[in-house]
Chains A and B, each alone.
Chain A
Amino acid sequence: MQKALVIDPVKCTGCKQCELACSYVKEGEFNPAKSRIRVFDFHQDARFVPYTCTQCAEAWCQRACPVDAITTNEWGVKEVHDGLCVGCKVCIIACPFGTVNYNASTGKVIKCDECGGDPACVKACPTDAIIYMDVEQAGFGKMRQWAAKTDTAAQATQ
């Protein structure tokens, strides 16, 4: 079964608990700059948009990696293996969503791995703006449609 993070920006109040939870669980520090999820603030429109990796079926980051450091686990999640990652950063420019980032203190790239099936951001979100559910029920197509338009073939859907 494939599960996915499903984000409903309308429910987001911009409290950024998800960013803190993510950086704490993944990096051991409360540092939003190292969070795998980011909440974008649109003050003027009173909107907040939590934003993270959509775990593309055919992932640009994975294919662009020159050393096979990004693999797909049983839940369809793309994981970066620190032991193999050389920090070349090709994945961070290849990902058209900008959801793979570089961690200068480790020299490796970081991206959402859904915390191995128990995402910290979901637990931290007080308003259910981020939930974790079956891919089939999630109406997950929207971001992947974006993906399809981004590249040279409709690869994210295959």
Chain B
Amino acid sequence: MAPRKKTPAGATPATKTADGGATAGEAGVIGERDRVTLQKITDLAFNALAEVRRGKNPALSIPVRALSNVSFDQEAGLIRLGESRQSRNFFHLKQAKLFMQTFLIAEHCKKLIEAGATTSIRDIYYGAKHSVAGTKENTFEEQAESDPIIEDLEVTIDALREELHLRAENRGAMVGPMTIRDTGDTIDLRRMGSGGWSIPSIVEDNRIEFMKTEAEYILFIEKGAVWARLNEDRFWQKNNCMLLHGSGMAARGTRRLLRRMHEELKLPVYVLTDNDPWGFYIYSVIKQGSINLAYESMRMAVPQARFLGLMSSDAERFNLQPNVSMALKDEDSARIEQLMRYDWFAAKRWQEELALMKKTQKKYELEALSSRGIRFITEEYIPQKLRGRRGDSWLD
């Protein structure tokens, strides 16, 4: 069951599967979970109206999604959202438009829920985009404007993205010895060809069900190219593992799927990324959650995930030649400094790895391992890492 920060009354996990979901077939029938979400949106609007009727400046109280308002829960291994909230007022030069946009998104989400439809966040951007009455100005100029508003709405009314009937584009892929049911269709993840099963944005149990698996662990790979190499070698078959990639930073769907498989199927998660601060951070997001989505850490993070590399110390360990390295750029160095200050990178081994990267001024892509041979990664690197000791071969 998906853990929630706060479980709103009426939306208990038990009722979720039964009520939730917004498949086309259920259109017009509003379930309990949707009813709660609708009520939250309506309350938000009535509150603003009540304030303004008293001559006051209507305000939305939005939890702050920034480093200043997250804390690292050492015990749970999670990044948690703090208590501070910021006020978004309508009668404010710089907030008026944001305030209006928030209600525009809320209005569209309400319509989606009532229609029992789900759209992508790109759809809602187009749906809510129009010119502001009497001007040439648009309600939203680009999707980059509406995306954070959606997140604001999620945290403000404490509703999940799927509860707002929104999804992102599919991102990332999975193959492996497992059968799943995806919105009614049974899919054998062993027979996905070279592209794999594309991971959707919403992977809740009402849509994705895990049927049968022989997998013993999950290997998450940052890059699609390296994942393709492993898939070509049928690495998952030989090693009995689920093989995922996130096309870079893992999207919500991918993270939620990792979490569910880890939790429901009791599979350990291993992460393989480039050796650079960005790769390190992708790992940390899978493991502890992100600053921006700290309110969803609890249902997305896999605190037991392990980092297989590349580590800076792997260069020596696997005898990588200097000519396969890349020089750090200024932005890389700055990012290293930032990571070194994050509480969830405070562990000694991580500080050592970051310090080493800083000292050598070198980074390595996963593909650098191919310099040791085409199958080096599948036949030597990963098996050796999986067998090795904590702190040496892999990091927490």
A binds B: no
Q: Which residues of B contact A (CB under 8 A)?
A: none
